[in-house]
A and B are shown apart, each in its own frame.
Chain A
Amino acid sequence: MSRRRALMLTLVLLGLPGPLPAQAGAGRPVVVASKPFGESFLLAEMFAQLLEARGFEVDRRLGLGATEIAFEALRTNAIDAYPEYTGTGLLAILRAQPTADAGEVYRRVAREFRERWGVRWLPPLGFQNTYAIAVRRETATRLELATLSDLARVSGQLQAGLTPDFIGRPDGMPGLQKAYGIRFRAVRALLPAVKYQALAAGEVDVIDGYSTDGFIARYDLMVLRDDRHFFPPYEAAAMVSPGLQRDLPAAVAALTELSGLLTETEMRRLNRLHEVDGQPAPGIAAAALHALGLTGVLPQQTSTGRHRSASEVLPYLWDQRSIILSLTARHMLLVGVSLAAAIAVALPLGLALERRRRAAEAVIRGVGLLQTLPSIALLAFMIPLLGIGVIPALVALFLYSLYPILRNTYTGVRDAAPEAVGAAWALGMTPAQVLRYVRLPLAAPVIMAGIRTAAVINVGTATLAAFIGAGGLGDPIAAGLALSDTRMILSGALPAALLALLVDGVLGWSERLVSPGG
């Protein structure tokens, strides 16, 4: 796939029309995606392997941003299928009021998604994965906690560590507060990757998790019963794009084979293998499909699991070197192409604005506004226009790189040694000569500094490209965060940091190289 993507990229950059969209029928790959957490990875991997076993070609885009990005991609046919939860569809996408009846929720989302977007919910997979409020077993025993009503009684003494998502969603903390009167002494926003450790270490007393979570067993946690049935049903199901239904109905039928086959116990076991024992998702998915009788031959087990502590990072990195190398290459491609394009636009624009100073501030501030857009939001906006993958990532990185280069070019050229510029002008240089021989060389270090800033920001921001399936060093970071796997996070973060240092160093050196006046 990567060669094909590279080809697409080349064609786009050359301004040539890309290959035509794949026609209906054989030959068109099914794009299977997931959201960035363990269970979503596993289910997507099962979808993918099931489709492959039925003879379909599959393109995996695992770990897409969040609900908005994954759904936007599905709606616009950038991806074909991903696992979603009916409750999330109801609350996060339809923004409807929650109801307690699982069948009713499924029927509602199935109908509304079909009518509004032509998106199809396949029959549920068979288990629910609802929010679970968990405490340490020791806390539960000491305070005699079994239900959320019990928790409400003592919540004033407890500190909660909740995912930012949960803090904001109506079916999260705000609703919980209303339904049970729970008011914690303090609420801290914690990412999934750290909240379990924070709970185990006693930094917080209560966290939000998922009922099928593998971590709950790993950390010996106690899930408190939702005795007032506040959380709506979250039945897992495959969601399918309008395009796939039109192009490959047989693939939709193949995915339906999984419906109703996965119990909550089974899913929790699979999640534990993945999240606690550290087994890779493909192996677990293959074994699970085989055990369900959906695939014939069981492929051999390739890995027995991994250690997940930060120790032995170096051997792990060495082990993963070829993957890391190719991710680094992809990362550099993203950074290099977007930065080159930004230079090609911002540099001439900065020079042009220097001649039209009245318009300059307005234009530069406008470009600066782009900088304030949250990157995930920008990526989500672009999906309807550009789909997912390398192209939208390049466009986003390009937009983020414009401002530092434009600002530095403009101010650098504008403020370059005014007395020298005045003299050059008075002695008969043409405006073009003043620009070429005086302003530009004198502004070069400032312009280089802008490029350097843009490049370093770009290396960091490019890790977010993983959330729209563009690959790069963000892939292991996103997956590692989802699986709470420190070494996996480091296998992306360390090379990214090194790359940033390297880029900074090289550009710093070239900054001195262009410094005028010996």
Chain B
Amino acid sequence: MSTAGPALRAENLSKRYGQLLALDHVSLDVNPGESVALIGESGSGKTTLLRCFSRLVEPDEGRVLIEGVNAAEIEPIELRRRIGYVPQEGGLLPHWRVRRNVALVPWLRSMEAPDSLADRALELVGLEPAVYAGRWPRKLSGGERQRVAVARALAASPAVVLLDEPFGALDAITRADLQTTFARIRGELALTSLLVTHDIDEAFLLADRVAVMRRGRVEQVGSPAELRERPATEYVHHLLVRARVIRA
């Protein structure tokens, strides 16, 4: 539709799980080429919001637009194949070798030569296909596994990638490596990405804009500099102090 509008837009989304209001009238835009991070404590609704964009969660109220098109009108399976996704624990299929894992979405979309697309994606994340393509997932280190998961999300060259705490389970050094790799890839491909994380440093490092969520609401959206300089609420201020991003 309109190329000028946001790549992802959430309009007034609400989602209730029994007593819990997971999303409370949330609106958020992610512009083309932009990286937005969702931060907040567990239970703040950030993962729920992320999952609305691939229709893994259907909101009770409001609507989701993908490149201007109402997501409710896009067939969910089709939508998910068009959007890259990196789950928390990698979620590689343990009974498939690395190459087949990475070629999953090209294969699902019946694209040509899924294996060479897979190899290209592996190179992109810094894994030599000749070494890694034939390996079983359980023979990989945690960092390698997350790299494969990122490669898998990128193999079909999606315009948008959703990442759900992708590096959360890694040790600090490996995490830093992967963050660097992701920042590089994002620049090279001009990726639009939405990233859920509970690590404020990671959010500030990888995102153009950061959305702070609390109890199903967005407390503040802004660039790292804006957040640092003008925390909109007491909560955002506390969060940043606690993370030693700003001084008390």
Contacts and interface: CB of A to CB of B under 8 A. Distances in A.
Q: Does A pair with B?
A: yes
Contacts of B56: 425-426
A433 B89 CA distance: 21
A426 B80 contact: yes
B105 A428 contact: yes
A427 B94 contact: no
Contact of B78 (A424, A425, A428, A442): A428
A441 B94 CA distance: 10
A423 B95 contact: no
A424 B79 CA distance: 14
B136 A423 contact: no
B91 interface: yes
A518 interface: yes
Contacts of B104: 424, 427
A433 B54 CA distance: 18
A503 B49 CA distance: 52
Q: Is the interface of A mostly helix, strand, loop or mixed?
A: helix
B92 A423 contact: yes
Interface string A407-419: 0000000000101
Contacts of A430: 77
Contacts of A428: 77-82, 105, 108-109
A315 interface: no
B90 A518 contact: no
Contacts of B129: none
A438 B93 contact: yes
B16 to A, nearest CB: 21
A427 B138 contact: no
A428 B83 CA distance: 9
B9 interface: no
Interface in B92-114: 92-95, 97, 104-105, 108-109
B77 A423 contact: no
B80 A427 contact: yes
A438 B78 CA distance: 19
Interface string A429-453: 1100100011001100000000000
A423 B87 contact: yes
Contacts of A422: 87, 91
A437 B94 CA distance: 11
B95 A516 contact: yes
Chain B interface residue number, banded: 20 to 34
B87 A426 contact: yes
Contact of A517 (B81, B89, B94, B152): B94
Contacts of A517: 94-95, 136-138
A110 B82 CA distance: 83
B167 interface: no
Interface residues of A, number: 20
A420 B93 contact: yes
Contacts of A433: 108
A427 B92 CA distance: 11
Contacts of B82: 428
B231 to A, nearest CB: 33
B132 interface: no
A420 B77 contact: no
Interface in B64-90: 77-82, 85, 87-90
Contacts of A419: 87-91
Nearest to B164: A426
Nearest to B78: A428
B106 to A, nearest CB: 11
Given A427-B152, A517-B136, A420 B91 contact: yes
A426 B77 CA distance: 9
A119 to B, nearest CB: 61
A433 B105 CA distance: 12
B95 A427 contact: no
28 contacts: A417-B93, A419-B90, A420-B92, A420-B94, A422-B91, A423-B85, A423-B87, A423-B92, A424-B93, A425-B56, A426-B80, A426-B91, A427-B153, A428-B78, A428-B79, A428-B105, A429-B108, A430-B77, A433-B108, A438-B93, A442-B95, A516-B94, A517-B94, A517-B136, A517-B137, A518-B97, A518-B136, A518-B138
Interface of B: 54, 56, 77-82, 85, 87-95, 97, 104-105, 108-109, 136-139, 149, 152-153
Given A426-B56, A428-B78, A516-B94, 15 more contacts: A417-B93, A420-B92, A420-B94, A422-B91, A423-B91, A424-B91, A424-B93, A425-B56, A426-B80, A427-B104, A428-B80, A429-B108, A430-B77, A438-B93, A517-B138
